[in-house]
Amino acid sequence: MASRSCKNLFDWASGGLLDIPCTPRALPRVMTVPGIISDVDSYSNDDDSDSNSSTCRERKIVVANMLPLHAKRDPETKKWRFSLDEDSILLQLKDGFSSESEVVYVGSLKAEIDASEQEEVAQKLLEEFNCVPTFLPSDLQKKFYLGFCKQQLWPLFHYMLPMCPDHGDRFDRSLWQAYVSANKIFADKVMEVINPEDDCVWVHDYHLIVLPTFLRKRYYRVKLGFFLHSPFPSSEIYRTLPVRDEILRGLLNCDLIGFHTFDYARHFLSCCSRMLGLDYESKRGHIGLDYFGRTVYVKILPVGVHMGRLEFVLNLPDTTAKIEEIQEQYKGKKLILGIDDMDIFKGISLKFLALEQLLQQNRESQGNIVLVQIINPARGSGKDVQEAKSETYLTARRINEAYGSPNYEPVVLIDRHVPQYEKTAYYAVAECCIVNAVRDGMNLVPYNYIVCRQGTPPMNEALGVTADSPQTSMLVVSEFIGCSPSLSGAIRVNPWDIDAVADALNSAITMSKSEKELRHEKHYRYVSSHDVAYWARSFAQDLDRACQDHYSKRCWGIGLGLRFRVVSLSPNFRKLSIDHIVSAYKRTSRRAIFLDYDGTVIPEASIIKAPSPEVLALMNSLCKDPKNTVFIVSGRGRTSLSDWFASCETLGIAAEHGYFLRWNRSSEWETSPVGADLDWKEIVEPVMRLYTEATDGSNIESKESALVWHHQDADPDFGSCQAKELLDHLENVLLNEPAVVKRGQHIVEVKPQGVSKGLVTEKILSRMVNDGKAPDFVMCIGDDRSDEDMFESILRTVSCPSLPSPPEIFACTVGRKPSKAKYYLDDASDVVKLLQGLATASSPKPRHLPHVQVSFESVY
């Protein structure tokens, strides 16, 4: 029976319920000091949902698909026996944490445990290994891992689309439901052991991408990091996924998201921009996305290897004996090594074809070169894996038949379980290592090879190698794997270019020893200093930094199901309540009202830019109240604004950011004296025209006092890139001109110096004070960067000592985002509702006003 905490979420995610059992609640919450354990099934969404946690020392909760354990049933006692997997990165990353940190692991076992044994096994793992197992039902496990993870997410993240049934599986909603269900079970297990105020949660890899949404839904301020160990595809590939938004939002519910390379991070940021409309910026070296007031940081750092573990294996007697055996077996031959999983992305057959090309082109290599290919067991199953395996064996057999002899095979396939000491021995002996994957997240084979080629004093002594003898290594790596950017001394290849890979192999084995030494030294210096402990420590430090403002902001949750997210804003930044402002409006008699136009009284995305009849009626109602001074303050030109608002006789208009000012319809336009020189437009227009021709979807808006380059309809990434370039270009050419260049929402604008919305509001308020009508109510609403000048100006002007008493101020931005305003409204429709409330207060029974439903809500 599904737990009550996940029933509704299954429904939201899939449109139907899954009859999948959750794990039994066998484990209590883990405590390190006495305290009260709260019921984790109580899903409270209030602002203080974290407040009842007991206090304990910091722990790191590491969540992954598989626990770092080996499981084996004792043949005599029939009891389960467990041991640590010393080669697991999850276990090795502990070295990057402080000795005072406790690490708890949450994940599945590599063996299926009978339901009758699960409680006993769970207690044993918790007590002996600090591990919390998630027992997924067998059917769910298959659909979750072998189904959605390996047949849909894994191929997609490696750039493979299911173009037809023979090439990949099409999206299956039932597998997605299983994925969500499995993630929910993992989340439940984390909730059983977490102390949300003190613990950090670090989730690993694509198996658990929606897990952060479940955790964030329960604990608004949980410290939550995620590291993706696979590639992240470009937006053109990723956008084909039917549940693309849910996956992105799962990642965005973290505080820190880690990637191996900048390419992967760039693809993720591009997806967020194109599909969710989110922009990112880099501040002091840290990339951040603003997501409903929370800053989600992106970290780029490839994982490393555990130096101590590799050196320990190198020093084993079994390793030394195996090295001597391999040296004897391949005496007089140059050994090239490949170690790969059996899957379609590792490029094993392409590697063999390159060797075949090398043997064909260099006859002297025949009989002298051996490629030893160790094949790790396949992690998935399916027709594609079987096809890859069949092709690998057929290619190897053909090459051996063509170029082999009774005592020589150019390709040696080792397709069995190979213990770590044996792999280490091959690493140590091989003159060259090749990783030819067509796509891979990281791949630590090159790092392992470099460390093993360096050797250790005990191993070198056993093999008769002098201590001062310089070491060598040579790497041929695909440019499509995550470790490639960090290995600048390797020969990088396009695995699809068979000729180039063959040439690279030839260069690697014929290169001079001195050059090999230099390349090896450079690689070893990097690998030894950027080990797995460095990676874990750096990630933990950045996660702490990302979470440092958690308790300085107000938080609340919005959205249903997997669209849930937390809004996090300053304690002084709150939604403007209509009740609150109407109350202040009624008790004041000298009111100044400033309204931006685009994105404020009409939606930014609206195709029709003219105001609606409803907006015009509201403006007339507000303007007819003798207590009000109402202004539209916009960047638009005066002609369009005066035409649109011709019916509003007493409405003031400040056009082109205040360059033109009109107090009412019958008054003359006033022109700002500071921007009389507009000769700079002759410089700006050709530059903007150049960028318009180069950027499809962009256009130039020519105003009387300004020129604006719009890129809203251009490609989001290219448009943003061109806008940055245009901004720099114009700043350089206008260095000595009386003009300023500003970047706004999808625009780059050049306008006269000394012209801004802030200055025009100062002028209007000063005129009111000089006329003996010092305002006691000031409301200013806008949505753009230029409106921030208004908010700042109002706060500065009304604090002037010449005012008899400070007015009531309502500076309000449209959209929940960082702002100098104290209040916000969600969108233009909220602004219209607020104006309707004010208009109703001015005229209790306005017969000429259209009906607009008003919701008087107070959000505090």
Long-range contacts of 276-279 (CB under 8 A, 24+ apart): 276/245, 276/248, 276/249, 276/252, 278/252, 279/720
Backbone angles phi, psi at 447, to 5 degrees: -65, -45
Map tokens 């001015």 to a residue: 842
**Beta bridge partners of residue 81, listed in sequence order:** 72
Output the CA–CA distances (angstroms, integers) from residue 236 to 150, 157, 240, 276, 344, in the order listed: 20, 12, 7, 15, 21
| Rounded-to-integer distance, Cα 343 and Cα 57, Å | 43
List the one residue out of 376, 362, 352 whose CA is nearest residue 436.
352
Alpha-helical regions (H) of 734-807:
757-770, 785-797
pLDDT at 282: 85
Give the residues of the chain that fall short of pLDDT 50: 1-55, 846-860
| Rounded-to-integer distance, Cα 157 and Cα 234, Å | 9
| Rounded-to-integer distance, Cα 838 and Cα 535, Å | 57
Output the CA–CA distances (angstroms, integers) from residue 5 to 253, 535, 561, in the order listed: 19, 35, 12
| Rounded-to-integer distance, Cα 420 and Cα 769, Å | 83
**Quick one: three-class SS letters along 457-500?**
HHHHHHCCCCCCCCCCCCEEEECCECCHHHCCCCEEECCCCHHH
pLDDT at 838: 94
620 close to 648: Cβ distance less than 8 angstroms: yes
Burial class (CB within 10 angstroms; exposed 0-12, middle 13-18, buried 19+) of 125: buried
| Rounded-to-integer distance, Cα 781 and Cα 789, Å | 12
**Beta bridge partners of residue 282, listed in sequence order:** 287
Q: Exposed e or buried b for every residue in 326-357, given b needs 16+ CB within 10 A?
A: beeeeeeebbbbbbbbbbbbbbbbbbbbbbbb
| Rounded-to-integer distance, Cα 169 and Cα 156, Å | 10
**Beta bridge partners of residue 555, listed in sequence order:** 568
670: tokens are 């006033």
Cite the beta strand spans of 539-685 per DSSP E. Answer: 554-558, 565-569, 574-575, 591-595, 628-633, 652-655, 660-662, 670-671
| Rounded-to-integer distance, Cα 596 and Cα 786, Å | 10
Cite the beta strand spans of 215-330 per DSSP E. Answer: 223-227, 256-259, 280-283, 286-291, 294-300
pLDDT at 698: 94
DSSP characters over 795-826: HHHTT-TTSSSPPEEEEEEESSS--SSSEEES
Sign, Cα dihedral of 505, 325, 425, 346: positive
| Rounded-to-integer distance, Cα 684 and Cα 689, Å | 9
Sign, Cα dihedral of 781, 786, 792, 793: negative
According to DSSP, the β-strands at 660-662 and 652-655 are antiparallel
Other C-beta atoms closer than 10 Å to the C-beta of 724 total: 12
Residue 463, CB half-sphere, CA atoms under 13 Å: how many? 29
List the one residue out of 530, 540, 441 whose CA is nearest residue 483.
441
608: tokens are 């029709």
3-class SS of residue 673: helix
